[in-house]
Amino acid sequence: MKSKIPVVIGTLFLAYIAFVAVVVLVYKPNPEDMSWEDRQAYNQGKLTELKLGQSGESVVEMLGRPDFSEAKLSQGQTLNVLFYRTHQTRSDGVTTKDECTPLLFRNDQLIAWGDDTYQQYLQQATDTEPQPVRDTVATATKPVDSH
């Protein structure tokens, strides 16, 4: 009689290979669940995939929640800066802005990223008063009384 052990071992091995294949093909890494070192390397790699004009939502979907963010109004337009950790300057366990790459958005469209980006953001004048909203409803005029 032949032993069934090789068949059982072969079946278990194939099941294991199928499980690994499913995990590799389906698993999508979540940046928030990574260690700071893994996230830093992940961010460096993903920055090469950015495109000018990309929406803020798609960037956050790609890179995860930013480490820091700032926003302001300038000349009636919304400016946002998202900071993502990409390098280490001190081994103190704390992420600081100087360890991040800034991404600059105007009206939710990516317009710049890199070292000089934050300076561009800071140099933009900040609106001190809300911009007037144009009234798009036509104003009805009263007929002139001819009496």
124: DSSP letter? S
Q: What does the mean pLDDT of the chain come to?
A: 84
pLDDT for res 1: 54
pLDDT tens-digit map of 100-142: 999 999 999 999 999 888 888 888 888 776 555 554 444 444 4
pLDDT tens-digit map of 84-93: 999 988 888 7
Pick from 50, 122, 44: nearest CA to 88 = 44
Range of the domain at 53: 30-123
Does any domain span residue 141? Answer: no
Does any domain span residue 2? Answer: no
Does any domain span residue 14? Answer: no
CATH number for the domain harbouring residue 64: 3.30.1450.10
Does any domain span residue 101? Answer: yes
Structural domains of the chain, count: 1
141-146 mean pLDDT: 49
pTM of the predicted model, to two decimals?
0.67
